[in-house]
Amino acid sequence: MEGGYILFLLHTAFLLCLIPTSSLKQLHFGHCMVSVDMYEMRKGFGDIKEMTQSQDQHTSIRLLHGSHSLQNTKSEDRCCFFHYLLKFYLVNVFNQCTEGNNFHQRRVSRIANNFLSIKKELTLCDTVTTCSCGKEANQRYEQILNQFQRMDSHSAAVKALGELDILLDWIDKTD
């Protein structure tokens, strides 16, 4: 009887190991597949969301229009557009978010490191299969960049960081 119970526990543990983690999302861009740890990014953003969004002085402005910039992106443009957005956040946003307490800075750094890992994976894949950039993807990125550049750099970075949940939702919905 005791041996059957141990065998049952071992079998259950084995089956649990086979179940993929729900936080690790596989994004497919043609032949490219990129792993994204959604739990880690959502947790990091959730920890700083309230503080970041309370610092946003431009609540009437939206950089990432859920329906315009992201959701309606053509499937053939997603790779390129996502690459643009990763670069945008790494170059323009995370570098500007150096104020705040150590906890806030560590969370921003953790999110930035996740973005950097995704960008590296996407870049490696892009060397094998090219991400095509359509006119629409370029225009959408230019709109985001132009809106960002109209604000002072710190306010723009706070705005973009506060809208990170929009980008994370888009990633979650991307097949």
**Domain extent at residue 12:** 2-173
Return the closest-CA partner of residue 100 out of 52, 160, 47, 59: 52
Q: Which two tokens stand for residue 129?
A: 């299969």
Say what the pTM is: 0.81
CA distance 2 to 43: 41
Q: What is the CATH number of the domain that holds 138?
A: 1.20.1250.10
Q: With the CA atoms of 9, 14, 17 and 20 taken in that order, what torsion angle do they form, in degrees rounded to the nearest 10?
A: -110
Q: pLDDT tens-digit profile of 19-71?
A: 444 568 888 876 778 888 999 999 999 999 998 889 888 888 889 875 456 77
Q: Count how many domains the chain has.
A: 1
Residue 97: pLDDT band by 50, 70, 90 thresholds?
Answer: confident
Question: Do 41 and 111 touch, CB atoms closer than 8 A?
Answer: yes
Q: Which two tokens stand for residue 89?
A: 């956040």
